[in-house]
Chains A and B, each alone.
Chain A
Amino acid sequence: MFRLDGKRALITGASGGIGAAIARALHAQGAEVILSGTRRPALEALAAELGGRARVIPADLSEAAASDALIAAATEGGAALDILVNNAGLTRDALALRLKDEDWEKVLAVDLTAPFRLSRAALKTMIRRRWGRIINIASIVGVTGNPGQANYAAAKAGLIGMTKSLAQEVAARGVTVNAIAPGFIETPMTEALSEAQRAALAERIPIGRLGRPEDVAAACVYLASEEAGWVTGTTLHVNGGMAMP
């Protein structure tokens, strides 16, 4: 089950902790993976590690034209794009009273606007082929909120709403659109938290540990699979039981 042989997947933010795990997992299921991100050396290293069926297309999704250009490059020569994983994201944390406009806008641009543009462009080819999977990596904070992350929480909540709308628009064409809302995962992004914050977090997680990138990647494999064809518009919570919305 859950084989992805012959499918082409684009993963944004593939040099990050969760993105790289997703790329490895989709690749292990037989998919050809296109690795995108801002850090070319890390992407090249991942592609080399994976061996065949892996390509690198760097993109800085904070630039307005980058999303369309990325899909155009990924589908050059009429190549199919079967799976889009909108994983790229960044944080610019501050309490709202101190949150600068530019940090609000930057997070919204990369974490919400870019996934929309990428999805819009990818859907054109997916609905034509009557098959597609879009998987948006949201966050539990998009549902619960989190002090210091008004921008990030707003973007991730927006991503969940966008997922539901897109899912309804394209459901009749064999294309599913789903979100994954990870809880606190061990990545460079969560390493920015203090030790005390991390300990407090682990205490709030019934399973008793922070998540691993592979926990998210497994959910992604499922949603990308043929077998998940009747699942659309949903948000799969992968958070160790920390929140059960």
Chain B
Amino acid sequence: MSEIAEKVKKIVVEHLGVEESKVTPEASFIDDLGADSLDTVELVMAFEEAFNVEIPEDAAEKISTVKDAIEYIERQKAA
């Protein structure tokens, strides 16, 4: 697992208070990890801060799973 993936996972575990084993790449923040809409906004803000990237609203809307987040951040970091 990449460094970014590890860090994303850690943030999700901390923010949502879920078990690490549940934070699989396919896990949906809302459907599988019990996040509400404000949690997802907070997660996006946490990612922005942790990775020093900007995630615009239209991109944030498309981030619904752990994998979506990892891939988006990896793309931003590669660019």
With an 8 Å Cβ cutoff, the count of chain B residues facing the other chain is 4
Q: Does B38 contact A (CB under 8 A)?
A: yes
Q: Please, which residue of chain B has its CB at the minimum distance from the CB of A170?
A: B38
Interface of A is mostly: helix
Residues of B within 8 A of A127 (CB): 38, 42
**Whole-angstrom distance between the alpha carbons of A110 and B42 in the complex?**
28
- Total cross-chain contacts (CB, 8 A): 10
Residues of A within 8 A of B36 (CB): 172
- 10 interchain pairs (CB within 8 A)? A124-B45, A127-B38, A127-B42, A128-B42, A128-B45, A169-B38, A170-B38, A172-B36, A172-B38, A173-B38
Q: How far is the CB of B71 from chain A (nearest CB, A)?
A: 25
Residues of A within 8 A of B45 (CB): 124, 128
B residues sitting closer than 8 Å to A (CB atoms) are 36, 38, 42, 45
Q: Please, which residue of chain B has its CB at the minimum distance from the CB of A124?
A: B45
A-B complex: 7 closest residue pairs judged by Cβ atoms: A169-B38, A127-B42, A124-B45, A173-B38, A172-B38, A170-B38, A127-B38
Q: Which of B36, B38, B42, B45 has the most CB of A within 10 A?
A: B38
Residues of B within 8 A of A173 (CB): 38
Q: Please, which residue of chain B has its CB at the minimum distance from the CB of A173?
A: B38
Q: How far is the CB of A130 from chain B (nearest CB, A)?
A: 11
Q: Please, which residue of chain B has its CB at the minimum distance from the CB of A171?
A: B38
Q: Please, which residue of chain A has its CB at the minimum distance from the CB of B36?
A: A172
Residues of B within 8 A of A124 (CB): 45
**Whole-angstrom distance between the alpha carbons of A128 and B38 in the complex?**
11
Q: How far is the CB of B33 from chain A (nearest CB, A)?
A: 16
Q: How far is the CB of A32 from chain B (nearest CB, A)?
A: 25
**Whole-angstrom distance between the alpha carbons of A83 and B20 in the complex?**
35
Q: How far is the CB of B53 from chain A (nearest CB, A)?
A: 16
Residues of A within 8 A of B42 (CB): 127-128
Q: How far is the CB of B4 from chain A (nearest CB, A)?
A: 22
